């Protein structure tokens, strides 16, 4: 009975850890913005997840490894959006350049020809 409870506890914890970032991933995907998320937090969280993956590998805990790997993928996605957003803004292109790569955003299309 004890082993079953431990398994249920571990499985529940792993599932919750895995889906914990999902709402933020969905929001970041929809808005194409991670402006309200701390890059420092993301880096520390990713480092923590990498250490948990290593720990899980050392003790043979597949659930620990998989839960942290899936969560790290989500955090990595958010960090990638955050960094792309920073590069676009730093280049003076704004967030629109990230959402509409390779072309002007619809709201800016034709603005150069109207002023001429």
pLDDT recorded at residue 111: 47
pLDDT recorded at residue 100: 58
Short-list 34, 36, 20, CA closest to 74: 20
* Reported confidence tier of residue 116, pLDDT bands at 50, 70, 90: very low
pLDDT recorded at residue 115: 45
C-alpha dihedral, 3 to 9 to 11 to 15, nearest 10°: 180
* Reported confidence tier of residue 106, pLDDT bands at 50, 70, 90: low
15 has pLDDT over 70: yes
Looking at CATH, the fold of the domain delimited by 2-101 is given as: Monooxygenase (1.20.1280)
**Cβ(55)–Cβ(64) below 8 Å:** yes
Q: Which residue has the higher pLDDT, 76 or 102?
A: 76
23 has pLDDT over 50: yes
pTM of the model: 0.69
The overall average pLDDT reported for the chain is 82
């Amino acid at each position: 009975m004890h082993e079953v409870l431990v398994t249920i506890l571990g499985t529940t914890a792993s599932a919750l850890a895995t889906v914990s970032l999902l709402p933020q991933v969905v929001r970041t995907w929809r808005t194409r913005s991670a402006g309200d998320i701390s890059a420092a937090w993301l880096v520390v969280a990713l480092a923590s997840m990498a250490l948990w993956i290593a720990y899980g590998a050392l003790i043979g805990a597949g659930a620990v490894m998989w839960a942290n790997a899936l969560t790290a993928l989500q955090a990595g996605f958010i960090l990638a959006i955050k960094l792309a957003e920073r590069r676009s803004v730093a280049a003076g292109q704004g967030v629109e350049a990230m959402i509409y790569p390779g072309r002007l955003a619809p709201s800016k299309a034709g603005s150069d020809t109207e002023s001429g």
